[in-house]
């Protein structure tokens, strides 16, 4: 068992997440020391389940619909705003069929609704529902899901700025690929006239501790940002 599993294994067992979903952490390139340092052991309540697994009445309701439903809801909350079932399926480690079936359950339960914008997919019926669900995600799993989401949305052609929104929630791990993606996002922000957003992603890129030459380039880009 890896240290990443040690940091989160109890969470998975309590939430009854199957091995396929638990392997999401192993499939990510996140380093265990960061995750473990930020997620101390969580005491269980009298039922033996940690507080975040018990959650609110909403999460208990979702768990009654099946573990796939909770996984879908978590992935949708990580994505934020409107989403497609295909993106959620990739993040929640569900088949497309499972994701579509689960989405129907959440629509029937009035947790999700059709987005008002044509072709935008589904969204939570109220922002408070999205926030409540997001806050029930175990911290280490939330970090891993954001990392996977950054890969999924970029591969889907949603752009570096969309991927960067998720990378801002992930600790640095010395990835040159992440640095390149964040620099790309900074350029996109600048083209959109958002220098402060560019500054945030460039500062995040520095947390990857890139080699000195690349670090010098990042510092130059930061220094030349418009004010």
Q: Are residues 10 and 75 in the same domain?
A: yes
Q: Are residues 105 and 217 in the same domain?
A: no
> Structural domain of residue 198, as residue ranges?
172-223
The reply to whether 85 falls in a domain is yes
The reply to whether 27 falls in a domain is yes
pLDDT computed for residue 37 by the predictor:
33
Q: Which two tokens stand for residue 83?
A: 């989403």
The reply to whether 151 falls in a domain is no
Q: Are residues 33 and 131 in the same domain?
A: yes
Hey, CA dihedral for 202, 207, 212, 213, is it positive or negative?
negative
The reply to whether 60 falls in a domain is yes
pLDDT computed for residue 190 by the predictor:
97
The reply to whether 110 falls in a domain is yes
Looking at the 3D structure of the chain, how many domains does it have? 2
Does pTM top 0.95 for this prediction? no
Alpha carbon of 201 to those of 43, 49, 191, 214: distances in Å? 35, 37, 14, 15
The mean pLDDT of the chain is 80
In angstroms, the CA 95 to CA 103 distance is 12
Q: Are residues 121 and 177 in the same domain?
A: no
pLDDT computed for residue 15 by the predictor:
43
Q: Of the ranges 55-59, 160-164, 211-215, which one carries the lowest mean pLDDT score? A: 55-59
The closest alpha carbon to 72, from 44, 91, 55, belongs to: 91
């Amino acid at each position: 068992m890896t240290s990443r599993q040690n940091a989160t294994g109890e969470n998975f067992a309590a939430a009854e997440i199957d091995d396929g979903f638990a392997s999401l952490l192993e499939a990510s390139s996140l380093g265990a020391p960061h995750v473990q340092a930020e997620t101390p052991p969580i005491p269980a309540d009298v039922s033996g389940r940690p507080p975040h697994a018990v959650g609110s009445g909403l999460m208990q309701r979702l768990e009654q619909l099946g573990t796939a439903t909770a996984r879908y809801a978590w992935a949708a909350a990580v994505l934020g705003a409107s989403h497609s079932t295909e993106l959620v399926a990739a993040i929640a480690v569900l088949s497309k069929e499972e994701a579509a079936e689960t989405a129907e359950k959440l629509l029937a339960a009035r947790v999700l609704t059709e987005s008002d914008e044509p072709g935008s997919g589904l969204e939570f019926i109220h922002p408070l529902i999205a926030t409540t669900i997001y806050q029930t995600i175990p911290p280490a799993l939330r970090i891993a899901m954001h990392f996977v989401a950054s890969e999924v949305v970029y591969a889907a052609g949603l752009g570096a700025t969309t991927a960067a929104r998720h990378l801002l929630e992930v600790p640095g791990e010395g990835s040159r690929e992440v640095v390149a993606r964040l620099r790309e996002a900074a350029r996109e922000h600048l083209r959109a006239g958002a220098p402060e957003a560019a500054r945030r992603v460039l500062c995040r890129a520095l947390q990857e501790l890139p080699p000195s030459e690349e670090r010098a380039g990042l510092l130059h880009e930061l220094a030349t940002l418009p004010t």
